[in-house]
């Protein structure tokens, strides 16, 4: 098993839910990236999703876009992020997952990127603008490098497509809980619980809910229906504001969910 599979196996044994925070690499500098990864691991994160700053992040809302702009102004590059992860990897045991778009990977060179990601100890990769029909361009070298491609499904995905996507993976399935871009939400569609339950029913791998989750109450609510949550914009906002205690509250909320 890779680190992602091991982490979810351990959660299952402990009957716990997953909490995967998203952070923007280079927001606050690469030193902050190191500090934030260590803080999140210590606070109980299951894995960490590390965003790569990009000029045209089509899936991201204002909070993450602004964080990306700050990171780009700091001169953050994909190569530097991989170098930072490689430096941290010997002392960080939880899975580290990159979230990026295809353009930075193309610019880097697919083969060179995957080789450097493997050397750095990257465990997974999320590419929101890569549909399953096009993933063959990168899937084989990822498999050879033992880097898991984390796929997304949405509220508008037919159940047959969801099943097909779920059966391709070995890490976890990212279930998008809103129609639109990332960002905090005050409420969710009434059918989101039913949607998550259907995905769990057909998926052979763990299902995590993400997009819009921003409060401890929402963490508890969403985690009741699936295997855990991904929280992005709120974590980025709280790090930017220095509210580390609020991040710990979000992580703690995932540990006390009730089973429906």
Q: Concatenate the DSSP letters of all residues of 183-208 into one string.
A: ---S---TTHHHHHHHHHHH-SS-EE
Nearest to 24 by CA among 68, 69, 77: 68
The residues that are catalytic are: 49, 60
At 122-143, the pLDDT tens digits run: 999 999 999 999 999 999 999 9
What is the predicted pLDDT for the residue at 258? Answer: 47
Domains of the chain in start order, with CATH, are 3-252 (3.20.20.70)
- What's the average model confidence in pLDDT over 194-207? 95
Give the strands of the sheet with 18-24, arranged side by side: 148-150, 124-126, 96-99, 48-51, 18-24, 228-231, 207-210, 173-176, 152-153
Please check whether residue 52 is in contact with residue 99, taking contact to mean a CB–CB distance below 8 angstroms.
yes
Distances (CA, A) of 241 to 27, 199, 236, 255: 12, 35, 9, 24
* Average of per-residue pLDDT values in the chain: 92
- At 221, the pLDDT band (50, 70, 90 cuts) reads very high
Both tokens assigned to 209: 């809910």
Both tokens assigned to 230: 């991904």
What is the predicted pLDDT for the residue at 39? Answer: 98
pTM: predicted TM-score of the whole model, two decimal places = 0.93
At 159-178, the pLDDT tens digits run: 999 999 999 988 999 999 87
Cα 155 from chain centroid (whole Å): 18
- At 259, the pLDDT band (50, 70, 90 cuts) reads very low
What is the predicted pLDDT for the residue at 175? Answer: 95
- Calpha distance 220→101 (Å, rounded): 30
């Amino acid at each position: 098993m890779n680190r992602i599979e091991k982490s979810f196996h351990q959660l299952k044994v402990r009957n716990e839910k997953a909490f995967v925070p998203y952070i923007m690499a280079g927001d606050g500098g690469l030193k902050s990236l190191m500090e934030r990864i260590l803080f999140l691991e210590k606070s109980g994160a299951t894995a960490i999703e590390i965003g790569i700053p990009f000029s045209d992040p089509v899936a991201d809302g204002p909070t993450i876009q602004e964080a990306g702009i700050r990171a780009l102004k700091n001169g953050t590059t994909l190569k530097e992020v991989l170098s930072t992860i490689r430096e941290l990897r010997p002392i960080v045991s939880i899975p580290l997952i990159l979230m990026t778009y295809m353009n930075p990977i193309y610019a880097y060179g697919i083969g060179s990127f995957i080789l450097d990601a493997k050397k750095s100890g990257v465990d997974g990769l999320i590419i929101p603008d890569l549909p399953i029909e096009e993933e063959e361009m990168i899937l084989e070298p990822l498999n050879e490098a033992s880097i898991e491609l984390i796929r997304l499904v949405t509220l508008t995905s037919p159940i047959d497509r969801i099943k097909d996507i779920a059966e391709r993976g070995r890490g976890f399935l990212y279930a998008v809980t809103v129609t639109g871009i990332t960002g905090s939400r005050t409420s969710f569609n009434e059918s989101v619980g039913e949607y998550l339950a259907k995905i769990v029913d057909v998926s052979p791998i763990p299902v995590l809910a993400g997009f819009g989750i921003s409060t401890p109450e929402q963490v508890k609510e969403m985690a009741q229906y699936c295997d855990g949550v991904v929280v992005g914009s709120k974590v980025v906002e709280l790090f930017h504001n220095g509210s580390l205690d609020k991040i710990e509250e979000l992580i703690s909320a995932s540990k006390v969910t009730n089973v429906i």
